[in-house]
Structure 1
Amino acid sequence: MAHTLTSRLTATGAVVAAGALLLTGCGSSKISGNSGAAPNASASVSAVTADPSLAAMVPAALKSKGTVTIATDSTYAPAEFKDASGKIVGFDIDLGDAIFAKLGLKTTWQSADFGSIIGGIAAKKYDLSLSSFTDTKEREKTIDLVQYYAAGEAIATLAGNPDKVPSTANDLCGFKVAVQTNTTESDEIKNTINPGCKKAGKPEIPNNGDQFDAQSDATSALISKRDQAMLADSPVVDYAVKQNSSLMKLGENYNVAPYGIALPKGTQLTQAVQAAVKALIQDGTYGQILNKWGVQSGAITADKVLINAAAS
């Protein structure tokens, strides 16, 4: 999302990723559309086999176990969400599977409340997380983050913009804005946009945004006209607009920052994951996965796969 410094959301709700992402939890209407299909579902992704030199970097305990447990908030299409059958899918999922295939390990994915994931990693409930974490200096105090993708923030509104919602976030003063709880966008409303509105003598965004535990419910709130706009990460907005003809994107992406794979602080697995991501970029698998999900605009090059390199 730019998933933010703080915690995020309950990811256990079933995502029927459709016309946007799933069944709404805030209204009675169902969002229609394709149930969790990737935008380019027929795109080929090469099979990944283990690289012995990279597998040798895996900590002995994990190598012995043979499987990594990965936490993810499964309401955040197209990165991580549940399809109609309840299976967790998305570009983070495909990438995670490829990373650990390269390292000679299998993956077990667990839906988790975003806000609980970092604590779950510290408590060794999870080995790591791929869940659209924005890399920040604050997060780097408690976890390692391996950068793998660049995402911005974006604004969505109803098609045709009947409420004349402005195309820049700082101008959303007084509008009803749907946002996922504890995301970068949620923090932005509270800490930047609303203070700016107040200073300018303009009405603030009510309640620091209409907050939802699941991104899918924030999208539903906009579609159902409960809210006038939605703030979310650019891949999420782009996917929602592609899936729902009732929505449109406003303006350009802003505040572009890297996503990071979250790992325990100081683990040897961090360097192994970094090396695997670089290898997948270099052999073309990474690009194939992003193309499958229609998110190739956020691709980074192998030299940008950095550890704990947040700008702020």
Structure 2
Amino acid sequence: MARFTARRVITTGAVLAASSLMLTACGSSKIDGNTGAAPNASQTVNAAGPDSALVALVPADLKAKGTLTVATDSTYAPDEFKDASGKVVGMDVDMGNAILAKLGLKADWQSAGFDSIIVGVAAKKYDMSLSSFTDTKAREQQIDMVQYFTAGEAVAVLTGNPDKIGATAADLCGIKVAVQTGTTEADEIKNTINPACLKAGKKIIPNGGDKFEAQTDATTALASKRDQAMMADSPVIDYAVKQSNGALQKLGDNYNNAPYGIVVPKGSGLATAIQGAIKDLIKDGTYAQILSKWGVSSGALTADQIVLNGATS
């Protein structure tokens, strides 16, 4: 997210222990850190210049290319989405542009279906991707991932919680839940929550959750009362609530915090260059400016946490 373990993980590992299934906080992700203010998309950030030592790490073919194709699922505000003019914007976009500027490169942002991106990067259809991908060991078998941000999962309901849904995963049994296809949340319903519901003798979440290709459609499904709840990454839930004009509220706290990773082809020297660029951006303050701009400062990592293929599960 949560498209966090966060958005966009497809894994069969247990996400919540069936014995407890509590949606308790493992940390907090609030819009604009502590202020609750909405992101300011027009805010400017430092204009990062090339770092010659990092430029030297860029593979020759990419250096010659100059502009890299960067895939993203542009339906996941505030991380990546299209503005009113159709331009792809968001935290990941600003971060990707700043990283590539450090490497003497530019980005050609291409919208793609979330499920197709890792395959596309592995096949070198795309040079890289920033799209709220959680770093996992399974993914690291296909591509390399440079960790750069952390997030959690969360749940939203209609304001006032008219269905009186409790703040535990067990309370989602029998509830119609909207999720984006291919996300951690969709996998969590299938592999963890619904089996636990059955074990407890309760109704399962219908259809394994109502799945939508675009996160924006999942949000609309909740706002229009087609569904009773929505699961997504915590920044996405926070943003949706803030932008809903009072129609939605967050249920409980974040859980399953985990790092996002920038996706590059397996064995590419680009990964090391990206890792160094992020550390540079942290040092010169650009990294913090980008997160503040999009209201996700609570997901910041320190320089020593910017690791390559650091998944623990």
Fold conserved between structures, TM > 0.5: yes
- With the length of structure 2 as denominator, give the TM-score of the two structures: 0.88
Report the CA distance shift for 1:39/1:282 in structure 2 as closer, same or farther (over 3 A).
same
Q: Which residue does 2:73 correspond to in 1?
A: 73
Distance, in Å, in 2 between the alignment partners of 1:306 and 1:166 is: 37
Query: Can you list the C-alpha shifts for 1:37-77, whole angstroms capped at 9, x where unaligned?
Result: x7123544111111111111100111111111100001010
Which runs of structure 2 are paired with 1:54-93 in the superposition (5 Å)?
A: 54-93=54-93
Greater RCO structure (CA 8 Å; 6+ sep): 2
Residues 1:307 and 2:311 aligned together: no
Task: Give me the whole-angstrom Cα distance separating, in 1, the residues matched to 2:180 and 2:266.
Answer: 27
Q: Which residue of 2 aligns with 1:17?
A: none
Distance in 2, Cα, partners of 1:42 & 1:263:
29
Name the SS of the counterpart of 1:171 in structure 2.
helix
Question: Is 2:180 aligned against 1:180?
Answer: yes
Q: Per-residue deviation at 1:4?
A: 2.8
Residue 4 (1) aligns with residue 43 (2): no
Deviation at 1:168, TM superposition (A): 2.1
1:135-181, Cα deviation, whole Å (9 max, x unpaired)? 11111110101000001000000011111112222321011100001
Match of 1:210 in 2: 210
Q: Per-residue CA shift, 1:9-60, capped at 9, x if unaligned?
A: xxxxxxxxxxxxxxxxxxxxxxxxxxxxx71235441111111111111001
C-alpha separation between the residues in 2 aligned to 1:42 and 1:308?
33
- Matched ranges for 1:5-154 at <5 A: 5-6=9-10, 39-41=39-41, 43-154=43-154
* Amino acid in the other structure paired with 1:225: K
Other-structure match for 1:273: 274
Query: What amino acid does structure 1 have at the position aligned with 2:8?
Result: T
Q: Are 1:68 and 1:105, in contact at CA under 8 Å, matched by a contact in 2?
A: yes
> Quick one: which amino acid aligns to residue 217 of structure 1?
D
Name the residue aligned to 2:14.
none
Letter in 1 for 2:249: M
TM-score normalized by structure 1? 0.88
Contiguous gaps of at least 5 residues in structure 2: 12-37
Aligned length: 282
> What is the SS of the residue equivalent to 1:249?
strand
| RMSD across aligned positions (CA) | 1.2
Q: Does 1:293 align with 2:294?
A: yes
Aligned residue in 1 for 2:34: none
Cα separation, 2, equivalents of 1:246 and 1:124: 42
Paired with 1:5 and 1:156, the residues of 2 have a C-alpha distance of 19
Identity percentage of aligned residues = 69
